[in-house]
Amino acid sequence: MRVLFLCTHNSSRSQMAEGLLRARGGTRYQVFSAGTHPRAVHPLAIKAMAELGIDISEEAGHRAKGIDDFADAPPMDLVVTVCDEAAEECPYFPRARRQEHWGFPDPSAATGSEEERLAIFRRVRDAIAARIEAFLQQDQERAAT
């Protein structure tokens, strides 16, 4: 199953979702992420994911990508927007079998000390992880029927 996660900058939420589904979904999934206005992967997203043993750094091959990078890609089975802005700006993927919106707050908008901001990244990471687990359970049930 080909899954594409979209958010505005492809720097935090969609990168964490990609990393989590890659780590937990196994070989059943080909997972990608992109942004409508890509920026570099956020260092606190990298740090929060590293706490789970998941490397989303550039050294591991992760980089922010734009939606145009997928214009000529094979069809996606599922396109998931993970922020409201991307849901509004998201182009219709006519070859996508399904599109869903999983809204999460933007951790990169957090203020405070690094530890306070990291705590917000952890909360968003954990919310995404819970949604990924629910998705995997639903997908497994669908496959069994």
**Structural domains for the chain:** 2-144 (3.40.50.2300)
pLDDT (mean) for 26-44: 94
The H or E element spanning position 7 is strand 2-7
Distance of alpha carbon 43 from alpha carbon 7, whole angstroms = 17
Does the pLDDT of residue 99 top 80, yes or no? yes
**pTM for this model (two decimals):** 0.92
Which amino acids are annotated catalytic?
Answer: 7, 83, 90
Q: How many angstroms separate the CA atoms of 84 and 59, rounded?
A: 29
Q: Which residue has the higher pLDDT, 85 or 144?
A: 144
CB 2 within 8 A of CB 77: yes
pLDDT of residue 44: 98
For 54-87, b/e burial (b = at least 16 CB within 10 A) is bebbeeeebebbebeebeeeeebebbbbbbebbb
pLDDT of residue 87: 54
**CA atoms of 46 and 85, how far apart (whole Å):** 22
Distance CA 144, CA 72 (A): 32
Q: Which tokens sit at 38? A: 């890509």
pLDDT surpassing 80 at residue 88: no
